[in-house]
Structure 1
C-alpha cells in the first residue's frame, strides 16, 4: 500500500467522486425545471463569486492573464465551458449512472488524444486497459443487449457524454503539457485557487454565451423553488470548489495512479443515489460495466516488471 495513503487522504479522495456523482444526479433531477446550459452558467457564476474572496489577488497583475489569454480561453472552453454543460445535457435523456460509467472510460480517450495530438505512444498495458474500459462503455450503451449493439441504437445523452469525455481528455492534456510560457520559471506564482479562478473567468464567459444561445431555443423556463436553489448551491460549492480542491490535494499526495481508483467510485455512488432519490435502480449490465472499467484502470496503472 502507498505509505502516503492515510485514512485522512483516503477520505479526501473519496469526496470528489461522491460530489461528482451528486452532480449527475442533481442534473437529472433538474430536468424540466432549469435548462441545462443555464444551470451550467449559473453554477459557475456562483462558484466564481464564492472563490473570488480567496483568489482575488491574481487580478492585481492582469498582464499575467492577458499574455496567456489564448491558453486560458481554450482551457475554459474545454473544462468549465463544455464538460459540465454537456453532462447536464446528457442527463436530459440518459441516466446519472450511465453518464458516470461512460465518464469512467476516460483512459481510452486520454490515450487517443495523447497519441494523436501529443505523439505519446501508449504502452501495451495501457492499450489493454483501454480495451477493457471501452468494453464497459459499449456494455452500458447497448444496455447489455447484443441486438441493441448491432443496431447501434444510442441514446443522445450517451453520445453527448462521450463527447464531454473527449473534450475533458483534451483539457487534461493541456494541463499536463502546458505551453512554454507556463513552464518552469515562466509559470506565475499562483496557488490552486488563483489558477482555478482564472480558468473560471474564461470558462464562465463561454458558459454564459452558450446559455444565451440556448435561451430563445428552449421551452424550459426556470421555476425558482427551494429545491432548485438548493441544487444550484450544491453544484456551485460541492462539485465545483470542494471536489477540485480535494482532488488536487489527494493527487499531489499519493499521485494520479492511486487517485484514479477513487475516481472510479463515481458510478458506484451515482447508482446508489439514483436508486434512493430518483427511483432508477442499477441493472446487471451496470455492475458488469463497472467491473470492466475498473479492471481497465488496474491493468493500465500497473507498473511494468523490472528485468
Structure 2
C-alpha cells in the first residue's frame, strides 16, 4: 500500500529531476570528449568506488545479494546499463530540446508498463494528469510559441530517448517488487550498490562494443574530470537513492510525473547561470506540471 504525499516524499521526488536537468546539460557539453556508452560506464564506476566503503558488505558471498541476482541483474540492466547510456547516445545526434520532449513521455510509459506487465489499473485521473503534465513540458520546450514545435525534426537520437523512457519505466516498476532482505530497503547505499554491481557488467559490455565497433577516443582533462565527478555523484548516487525511496513510497505511476519537472528545472538553470530571465510561460508550465501531479495522485 503506497503512502500519501509528505514534504519528505516531495523532496525525494523533486531532487532527481533537478540533478538530471544538470546531467543533460553536462552530457551535451562533453559529448565531444568521451563516447556516450563509455561515459555511462565511467560514471557508474565512480559511483561504485564511492559506495563500496559504505556498503561493500553486500558483495560478500553470504550477504543475500546472490540469492536475488536475477532481480538485481534486471535492475542493473534497465536502470544502470540502459537509461543514461541511451540518453548520452541520443545527445550525440539529437538536440536537448528533442531529447527532453521524448523524455516527457515517461509518465505515459509508466502507466502503460504498469498496465501491461504489472497488472495495475489506469484511472481517468491519471490519464488527465498525464495530459496536463506533458502539456506543461511542451509549453517549456516551445517557449510559449506553438509554431516552434513545427520546426522540430526527429533523428535517430529521438528514437534512442523513447527506448530510454521505456527502460526507465520498467526499472521504476521493478523497484516496487521487493524480494531482497528487508534491511536493504532502508539502507540506500547497499540497495544501490547491489544494482550498480550488476549494472557495471552491462555498461562495461556496451562500452567494450562501442570501442570495438567505432573510432572511440577520450580527451582527458579537467573539464572531463569535473563532469565525471558531477554525473557520478549527483545524477547517479544521490538521484537514484532519492528516486528509489520516492517510488517505494507513492508508486511508479505517480512518481513518473515528477520526471517532467526536468525541463522546467533546466529552464531555471539557464536563468540562473546563463542570464536568461524566466518568462510567463515558465510559470504556466509549472502550474500544468504540478496540476498533473496533483490530479494523478488524488485518491
Q: TM-score range by the shorter chain?
A: 0.7 to 0.9
Structure 1 equivalent of residue 183 of structure 2: 189
Distance 2:136 2:258 in 1: 17
Structure 2 equivalent of residue 213 of structure 1: 209
Structure 2 equivalent of residue 78 of structure 1: 78
Between 63-72 and 231-240, report the one with greater CA deviation.
63-72
Could you report, residue by residue, the CA deviation over 1:89-147 in whole angstroms, capped at 9, with x for unpaired residues? 12223344543454343221111111111222211111222344455677759x94499
When normalised by structure 2's length, the TM-score is 0.80
Structure 1 equivalent of residue 117 of structure 2: 117
Between 96-105 and 66-75, report the one with greater CA deviation.
96-105
2:31 is paired with a residue of what secondary structure?
coil
CA 1:284/1:157 → structure 2, altered by over 3 Å: closer, same or farther? farther
Distance 2:5 2:118 in 1: 33
Structure 2 equivalent of residue 57 of structure 1: 57
CA 1:283/1:153 → structure 2, altered by over 3 Å: closer, same or farther? farther
CA 1:273/1:196 → structure 2, altered by over 3 Å: closer, same or farther? same
1:91 is paired with a residue of what secondary structure?
helix
Unmatched tracts of structure 2, length 5 or more: none
Unmatched tracts of structure 1, length 5 or more: none
Structure 2 equivalent of residue 42 of structure 1: 42
Between 42-51 and 112-121, report the one with greater CA deviation.
112-121
Distance 2:216 2:274 in 1: 20
Instruction: Assess if the C-alpha contact under 8 Å between 2:257 and 2:292 holds in 1.
Output: no
Distance 2:5 2:211 in 1: 51
1:167-178 matches, within 5 Å, as: 167-178=167-178
CA 1:276/1:99 → structure 2, altered by over 3 Å: closer, same or farther? farther
What is the CA RMSD across the aligned residues, in angstroms?
A: 3.6
Instruction: Assess if the C-alpha contact under 8 Å between 2:106 and 2:256 holds in 1.
Output: no
Instruction: Assess if the C-alpha contact under 8 Å between 2:80 and 2:195 holds in 1.
Output: yes
Structure 2 equivalent of residue 165 of structure 1: 165
1:5 aligns with one of 4, 7, 19: 7
**In the TM superposition, what is the alpha-carbon distance from 1:38 to its structure 2 partner?**
0.5
Distance 1:59 1:274 in 2: 41
1:283-298 matches, within 5 Å, as: 293-298=289-294
When normalised by structure 1's length, the TM-score is 0.78
Could you report, residue by residue, the CA deviation over 1:54-88 in whole angstroms, capped at 9, with x for unpaired residues? 00111234472222222211111111000010111
CA 1:284/1:113 → structure 2, altered by over 3 Å: closer, same or farther? farther
2:64 is paired with a residue of what secondary structure?
helix
